Structure 1
Amino acid sequence: MELSTLFLQTLEITLPVFAMVFIGLGLKRARWIDAAFVSTASQLVFKATLPTLIFLSIIRADLGATLDPALLGFFALATLGSVLFCWGWATLRVPYRERGVYIQGAFRGNCGIVGLALAAGMYGDFGLSTGSLLLGVVILTYNAFSVIALVTYQEGQRADWRSILRHIATNPLILAVVVAVPVAATGWPLPGWLMTSGDYFASLTLPLALICIGATLSFGEIRRSGRLAVSASLLKMVTLPILATGAAWLAGFEGPALGVMFLFFASPTAAAAFVMAKAMGGNATLTANIIAMTTLMASITVTLGVFVLRASGLI
Structure 2
Amino acid sequence: MEILVRLLALLVVLLVGTGLRASGILDAGRTDKLNAVAYYVALPALIFVSTYDQAIGELLSLALVGGLLLVLFTTAGLAWVVHRNQETSGRQSVAIVQSYHSNLGYLGLPLVAATFADHVTAIASVILGVVTLVQVPLTILVLSTVNGADAELAEEIRGLAANPVLLSLIAGLAIGSIGVTFPGAVVLGLDAVGSLALPLALLCVGASLEIDLPSVDYGATGSVVALKIVAMPVLAWIVFSALAVDTATFVASVVMLGTPTAVSTYVFAAELEGDEEFASLNVFATTLVSIVTLFVLITLIT
Shared fold (TM-score greater than 0.5)?
A: yes
**Ranges in structure 2 where 5+ consecutive residues have no aligned partner:** none
CA distance in 1, matches of 2:209, 2:6: 22
Q: 1:223 to 1:42 in 2, by over 3 A?
A: farther
CA distance in 2, matches of 1:221, 1:39: 23
Residue deviations 1:223-245, cap 9 Å, x none?
Answer: 53213222212221222222232
CA distance in 2, matches of 1:244, 1:168: 25
Match of 1:95 in 2: 87
Answering whether residue 130 of structure 2 is matched by residue 137 of structure 1, we say yes
Does structure 1 retain, via aligned residues, the 8 Å contact 2:110–2:198?
yes
**Alignment partner for residue 45 of structure 1, among 38, 44, 48?**
38
Q: Return the TM-score normalized by structure 2.
A: 0.90
Offset at residue 36 of structure 1 (A): 2.4
Offset at residue 178 of structure 1 (A): 1.6
Does structure 1 retain, via aligned residues, the 8 Å contact 2:126–2:169?
yes
Match of 1:188 in 2: 180
Does structure 2 retain, via aligned residues, the 8 Å contact 1:51–1:176?
yes
Match of 2:286 in 1: 294
Offset at residue 61 of structure 1 (A): 3.4
CA distance in 2, matches of 1:168, 1:15: 33
Residue deviations 1:62-96, cap 9 Å, x none?
Answer: 655433342133112211111111112222x3235
Offset at residue 30 of structure 1 (A): 5.1
CA distance in 2, matches of 1:30, 1:217: 14
Answer with 261-270 or 243-252: which moved more.
Answer: 243-252
Q: 1:159 to 1:77 in 2, by over 3 A?
A: farther
* Alignment of structure 1 residues 233-244 onto 2, 5 Å: 233-244=225-236
What is the one-letter code of the residue matched to 1:221? D
**Alignment partner for residue 278 of structure 1, among 270, 280, 287?**
270
Q: 1:276 to 1:26 in 2, by over 3 A?
A: same
Matched position secondary structure for 1:17: helix
* Alignment of structure 1 residues 190-269 onto 2, 5 Å: 190-218=182-210, 220-221=211-212, 224-226=215-217, 227-253=219-245, 255-269=247-261
Does structure 2 retain, via aligned residues, the 8 Å contact 1:102–1:232?
yes
Identity level (%)? 25
Does structure 2 retain, via aligned residues, the 8 Å contact 1:245–1:258?
yes
What is the one-letter code of the residue matched to 1:60? D
CA distance in 1, matches of 2:67, 2:146: 28
Does structure 1 retain, via aligned residues, the 8 Å contact 2:48–2:169?
yes
Match of 1:4 in 2: none
Match of 2:50 in 1: 57
Match of 1:36 in 2: 29
Does structure 2 retain, via aligned residues, the 8 Å contact 1:25–1:215?
yes
Match of 1:115 in 2: 108
Residue deviations 1:178-214, cap 9 Å, x none?
Answer: 2221111111122344333323332322211112222
Matched position secondary structure for 1:70: helix
Offset at residue 101 of structure 1 (A): 1.3
CA distance in 1, matches of 2:17, 2:151: 35
Q: 1:30 to 1:61 in 2, by over 3 A?
A: farther
Q: Return the TM-score normalized by structure 1.
A: 0.87
User: Superposition RMSD on alpha carbons, in Å?
Assistant: 2.2
Aligned residues: 300
Q: 1:255 to 1:23 in 2, by over 3 A?
A: farther
CA distance in 1, matches of 2:83, 2:11: 30
